[in-house]
Amino acid sequence: MIEASLTNSQIAVQQLKTYISKQIIGQEVLVERMLIALLADGHILVEGAPGLAKTRAINVLSRGIEANFHRVQFTPDLLPADLTGTEIYRPQQGNFEFQKGPLFHNLILADEINRSPAKVQAALLEAMAERQITVGAATYPLPELFMVMATQNPIEQEGTYPLPEAQLDRFMLHVKIDYPHAQHEKDILHLARAEARGELNSAPSGQTKISQQSLLTARKEVLDVFMSDALEEYLLQLIIATRNPSVYGEDMASWIQYGASPRASISLDRGARAKAWLQQRDFVTPEDIQDIAFDVLRHRLILSYEAEAEGITTGRVIKELIARVAVP
């Protein structure tokens, strides 16, 4: 797909990516994965140390879209109603009125999601899967454009409630981010000083801000990106290999206890198409599938006790799978 044939949606998303990249320095993978999740109608779990611009990233993304944003700080005393909303009695009318909670916004930041107990996590993850909220006898649909970005701090594990595997499966991508390079950190210093002096306008221009309709159109275009039958079979074989690892070696069989669900196949398919579309191509390559496979499978593979004892990580297992499953 050559530049002259770019659609209006592609031009708009490229402008959005350029705007975000100027505000978020040194986290190119996070920026790309957020856009992939947005284009594939999925949710993203981000894991990284404090101060790596996780909160800033989704805040900047929301400023570049004609959408509303809400940040929820997950704490041990948070209640499900703090997310979903609750019915409030109105004495003037003599009836109950539903007061919508933060989940009715378009973009949600669930900051440190593992700080809250299971009942709160379940309220969020139910909304992610069903795209609706039920309170009492009434069911309320969520916006068509709805994305959750949850964060986890890998350093502090005291007082946390790890997400169960079945709930982790609701996230399309699990992205791990690391510290920026020295040059990027220097650029971050310059950016921070410019913002502190008021020399930098962090708000996007009217031309940069993308409409919800453009994003919904982009999602349809992503679904139309071509994937050959051979590549589709390769994608499925990667997922099936996690369920039947013995086919690819006794070591693989001893490492993987439980493989990925069909949600992984769907996420890998849509993620690979979104990555190709972002790179202005109208077809998927094996590299698209292999690149996105790490973030799609990282939280879906349950390793055996033997693998953990040997220090085997999910990243290594995925790397071995990619190396052993034949590429068409």
- pTM, entire model: 0.91
Question: Does pLDDT of 3 surpass 50?
Answer: no
Same domain (yes/no): 76, 139: yes
Give residue 268's domain range: 224-324
Whether 213 is in a domain gets the answer no
Same domain (yes/no): 170, 233: no
Same domain (yes/no): 96, 184: yes
Whether 139 is in a domain gets the answer yes
Whether 206 is in a domain gets the answer no
Same domain (yes/no): 192, 235: no
Average pLDDT of span 103-121: 90
Question: Does pLDDT of 264 surpass 80?
Answer: yes
Q: What is the CATH number of the domain that holds 239?
A: 1.10.8.80
Query: What confidence score (pLDDT) does residue 135 get?
Result: 80
Question: Does pLDDT of 233 surpass 90?
Answer: yes
**DSSP assignments along 208-263, one per residue:** TSBPHHHHHHHHHHHHTSB--HHHHHHHHHHHHHHHSGGGG-HHHHHHEEE---HH
Question: Which DSSP category does 317 fall into?
Answer: H
Please give the tally of structural domains in the chain.
Answer: 2
Q: What is the CATH number of the domain that holds 169?
A: 3.40.50.300
pLDDT by residue (tens digit) across 126-169? 889 889 888 877 888 999 999 999 998 877 666 678 888 878 89
Same domain (yes/no): 244, 96: no
Same domain (yes/no): 251, 196: no
Retrieve residue 47's tokens.
């894991």
Whether 218 is in a domain gets the answer no
pLDDT by residue (tens digit) across 28-68? 999 999 999 999 999 999 998 888 888 889 889 988 998 89
List the helix and strand counts (H, then E) for the chain. Answer: 14, 11
Same domain (yes/no): 244, 168: no
Whether 310 is in a domain gets the answer yes
pLDDT by residue (tens digit) across 65-97? 988 999 999 989 999 999 998 888 888 877 888
Contact call for residues 271 and 173 (beta carbons, < 8 A): yes
